[in-house]
Amino acid sequence: MKLAGKYTKEGKFWVAEIPFINMMDQGRTKKECLEMIKSAIEELISETNFKCRVEDLGTNEFVLSSDDSKTLCCFILKRLREGHGLTIREVARQLGLKSHTEYARHEAGKTAMTFETFNHYVEVISEKEIFIKIA
């Protein structure tokens, strides 16, 4: 899975941002700011073996990726839900699910979900059509 980001120099600092999940971090150098946003995501996910990578694409863009797409997908769902101020019950209601537990199990990674299900959840939570790239 890959998430697109951008970076800019603002005064003495470089700022990295992943707009889709409303994440920002900064560093004194471009390399440091990219490392900081990578570390921030790894710490927020807080799974012992979770690792991600940042690839600098030049032209002020980067891609954050992980081989552990399941964990990253769960993090994205939770981050989007919380960013929109929604509870698990509210998301389940918007999805038309009979029980909030079904959505909660997907967000927690306890039940496998297809790419189509993940994409649908993201669209409902963010209220816009998106396409997530899976590497």
DSSP the chain: -EEEEEEEEETTEEEEEEGGGTEEEEESSHHHHHHHHHHHHHHHH--TT---EEEEEETTEEEEE-S-HHHHHHHHHHHHHHHTT--HHHHHHHHT-S-HHHHHHHHTTSS---HHHHHHHHHHHHTS----B--
For 33-87, write each residue's pLDDT tens digit. 999 999 999 999 988 899 999 999 999 999 999 999 999 999 999 999 999 999 9
